[in-house]
């Protein structure tokens, strides 16, 4: 990181934020209070247009680790929006993500991870016979996850000897764990994929990953599709791949 007055420059890029082919300088600065860690707080995003034009500045309302900038056209206006990403944890953990667009001299927020989690809610429960039900409330779609492949010792924590769900146990949906930009193959616009975990007894007990595909066209958050990635049971190694 480089000095920026009493602050540090975390990341710097050039992009067409204020206008087409404007080649503005985008600077992310913050304060790093701890030695030998990437933790950063009091973060500010600055867009400096070419020449002597007035810069635009916005304070990022999150603190965390590994902050970076990604530039891309998320809303279809032909200019770059700014995705600021980071993590709440120093090890792989919950993701921070906020997207800004330039409008009339100001940086306007069009997305962050909190907007997503508060808008796209889930309902989860264990079902008898070693299954999990996940319901996307906005989509009104239901997903069933079979966890019968878990060990007997594990299943005994959640189900009785007949396979019925014990009282006061329930799976959970994690906060956002990943925010990834995805470029369209048809034009130069980007969408985003949001990932969350379906959790069991703790944050390390992951049953499945939920992937939500979002469009920000015209600055409107729209859920295009959603799917769940489950994990098959690992078998013995294959020595002959031709079989």
What are the pLDDT digits (tens) for 161-190? 999 999 999 999 999 999 999 999 999 999
What is the per-residue pLDDT for 4?
53
Q: Which of 196, 187, 224, 225 is nearest to 72 (CA)?
A: 187
What is the per-residue pLDDT for 233?
60
Handedness of CA 55, 69, 206, 209 (dihedral sign): positive
Residue 174 to residues 93, 181, 209, 241, Cα–Cα distance (Å):
10, 20, 10, 37
Q: pLDDT band at residue 37, thresholds of 50, 70 and 90?
A: confident
CA 77 – CA 75 distance, rounded (Å): 6
Cα 49 from chain centre: 29
What is the per-residue pLDDT for 7?
82
- Say if residue 52's pLDDT is above 80: no
- Say if residue 238's pLDDT is above 70: no
Q: Which of 15, 82, 80 is nearest to 43 (CA)?
A: 82
Task: Read off the pLDDT of residues 112-161 as tens digits, 9 standing for 90 and up.
Answer: 999 999 999 999 999 999 999 999 998 899 999 999 999 999 999 999 99
Q: pLDDT band at residue 61, thresholds of 50, 70 and 90?
A: very high
What is the per-residue pLDDT for 3?
54
CA 190 – CA 184 distance, rounded (Å): 6
- Say if residue 241's pLDDT is above 50: no
CA 13 – CA 20 distance, rounded (Å): 16
- Say if residue 94's pLDDT is above 90: yes
- Say if residue 5's pLDDT is above 60: no
- Say if residue 35's pLDDT is above 90: no
Q: Which of 38, 13, 8 is nearest to 24 (CA)?
A: 13
Beta sheet of 172-183, edge-to-edge order: 172-183, 190-199, 206-215, 222-230
Q: Is 38 helix (H, G, I), strand (E, B) or coil?
A: coil
Task: Compute the mean pLDDT over every residue in the chain, rounded to the nearest whole number.
Answer: 92
């Amino acid at each position: 990181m480089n000095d920026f007055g009493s602050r540090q420059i975390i990341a710097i890029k050039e992009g067409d934020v204020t206008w087409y082919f404007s080649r503005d300088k985008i600077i992310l600065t913050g304060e790093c209070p701890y030695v030998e860690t990437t933790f950063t707080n009091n973060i500010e995003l600055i867009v400096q247009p070419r020449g002597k034009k007035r810069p635009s500045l916005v304070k990022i309302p999150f603190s965390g680790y590994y902050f970076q900038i990604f530039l891309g056209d998320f809303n279809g206006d032909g200019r770059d929006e700014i995705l600021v990403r980071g993590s709440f944890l120093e090890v792989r953990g919950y993701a921070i993500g906020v997207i800004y667009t330039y409008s009339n001299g100001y940086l306007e927020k069009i997305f962050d991870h909190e907007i997503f989690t508060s808008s796209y809610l889930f309902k989860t429960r264990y079902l008898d016979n070693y299954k999990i039900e996940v319901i996307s409330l906005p989509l009104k779609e239901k997903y069933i996850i079979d966890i019968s492949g878990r060990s007997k010792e594990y299943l005994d924590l959640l189900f009785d000897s007949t396979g019925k769900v014990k009282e006061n146990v329930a799976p959970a949906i994690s906060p956002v764990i990943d925010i990834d930009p995805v470029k369209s193959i048809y034009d130069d616009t980007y969408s985003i994929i949001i990932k969350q975990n379906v959790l069991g007894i703790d944050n390390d007990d992951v049953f499945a990953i939920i992937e939500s595909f979002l469009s920000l066209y015209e600055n409107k958050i729209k859920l295009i599709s959603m799917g769940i990635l489950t994990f098959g049971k690992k078998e013995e190694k294959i020595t002959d791949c031709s079989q």
